[in-house]
């Protein structure tokens, strides 16, 4: 029953976009993530607020997204647990202090394609209204066909092309996943949504360029993954639900199974 509600949440958000995104996660307000809490690194930074210097808490969280559940240190159990082929974030239970600035850095190791809803290709709710994207092989790679020229492929194989840019959006047809956070229950209103660029590679999952091996059974992931960094402010205590809005699951609009299950492509951020 609880995963059915989560599935409905993801599906409604995808179909209706901005019209329902503020309230679709209400059904998840009482669900509990199954992983240990992850609080990242918390520091206090002096800042001027209304002419007065105060200590503001800053939280740095590091996340990763993978094309399966076999990554080293993954939380699902030996050799990927019950669902080794399910796509997954590496943490689902994020906890931060109230009235803090949260900075999230996501290393994205998966391929991708087109979002069902271009709404989620826009950066939303960050402090600057933008995110910083670092990708490999951007020059010479066609974002509309999700492919790279032979020259770009060779450059990637030589570990050669890396591009960093700050933008308020990413092309909706070259997205691997999203990090989409929304209020639940009585939590102060908040919507943060950031697209995570796809790693360039063949549509059958073969990535361009050298591989690394953070895989529990000796498999490979691309060294040239994409990295996205963004910041947002949280206020008073509350529980927020986050999920991925790229349709990379199965069943019901490709938002079933991993997409609607805590510990894989959805979770919570608790503000205390």
pLDDT digits (tens, 9 = 90+) for 208-230: 666 665 665 666 787 778 899 99
Residue 113 confidence (pLDDT): 84
Which residue in 180, 157, 131 sits closest to 25, CA to CA? Answer: 180
Six-digit token string for 221: 């992931």
Residue 141 has pLDDT above 90, yes or no: no
205 sits in the region (left: phi over 0; alpha: psi -120 to 50; else beta) called: left
Rounded CA separation 23/260 (Å): 16
Confidence of residue 161 (pLDDT cuts 50, 70, 90): low
Q: What is the mean pLDDT of residues 106-123?
A: 91
CA angle 86, 249, 123 (to 5 degrees): 105
**pLDDT (average), residues 61-89:** 89
C-alpha neighbours within 13 Å on the C-beta side of residue 248:
30
**Phi-psi category of residue 252: left, alpha or beta, with phi > 0 → left and psi -120 to 50 → alpha:** left
Q: Which residue segment(s) compose the domain that 147 sits in?
A: 2-271
Question: Given this model, what pLDDT does residue 12 score?
Answer: 46
Number of residues that make up the chain: 272
Tokens of 37: 């809490």
**Phi-psi group of 144: left, alpha or beta (phi > 0 → left; psi -120 to 50 → alpha; rest → beta):** alpha
Helix (H) or strand (E) holding 48: strand 41-49
- Tell me how far apart the alpha carbons of residues 135 and 171 are, in angstroms, rounded to a whole number: 13
Higher pLDDT among residues 75 and 89, named by residue? 89
29-38, 98-107, 182-191 — which one is most confidently predicted on average?
Answer: 98-107
The whole model's pTM is what?
A: 0.82
Q: Which two tokens stand for residue 140?
A: 């010479």
**Contact of 137 with 152, CB cutoff 8 Å:** yes
What is the C-alpha end-to-end distance of the chain, expressed in Å? 28
- Mind listing the pLDDT tens digit for each residue in 14-58? 444 444 343 333 344 345 567 889 999 999 988 887 888 888 999
- Name the β-bridge partners of 47: 54
Q: Is 204 exposed, middle or buried (0-12, 13-18, 19+ CB in 10 A)?
A: exposed
Count how many domains the chain has.
1
Q: Which residues pair with 262 in a beta bridge?
A: 266
């Amino acid at each position: 029953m609880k995963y059915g509600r989560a599935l409905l949440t993801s599906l409604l958000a995808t179909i209706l976009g901005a019209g329902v995104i503020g309230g679709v996660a209400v059904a998840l307000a009482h669900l509990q993530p199954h992983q240990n809490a992850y609080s990242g690194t918390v520091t206090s930074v002096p800042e001027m607020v209304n002419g007065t210097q105060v200590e503001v808490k800053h939280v740095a969280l590091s996340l990763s997204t993978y094309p399966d559940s076999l990554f080293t240190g993954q939380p699902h159990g030996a050799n990927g647990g019950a669902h080794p082929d399910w796509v997954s974030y590496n943490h689902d239970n994020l906890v931060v202090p109230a009235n803090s600035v949260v900075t999230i850095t996501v290393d994205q190791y998966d391929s991708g394609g087109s979002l069902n809803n271009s709404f989620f290709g826009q950066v939303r709710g960050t402090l600057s209204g933008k995110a910083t994207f670092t990708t490999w092989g951007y020059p010479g790679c066609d974002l509309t066909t999700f492919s790279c020229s032979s020259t770009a492929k060779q450059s990637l194989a030589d570990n050669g092309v890396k591009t960093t840019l700050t933008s308020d959006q990413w092309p909706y047809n070259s997205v691997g996943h999203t990090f989409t956070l929304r209020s639940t229950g009585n939590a102060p209103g908040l919507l943060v949504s950031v697209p995570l660029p796809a790693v360039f590679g063949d549509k059958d999952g073969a990535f361009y360029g050298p591989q690394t091996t953070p895989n529990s059974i000796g498999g490979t992931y691309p060294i040239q993954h994409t990295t996205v960094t963004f910041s947002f402010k949280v206020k008073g205590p509350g529980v927020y639900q986050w999920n991925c809005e790229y349709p990379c699951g199965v069943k019901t609009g490709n938002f079933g199974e991993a997409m609607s299950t805590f510990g894989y492509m959805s979770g919570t951020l608790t503000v205390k």
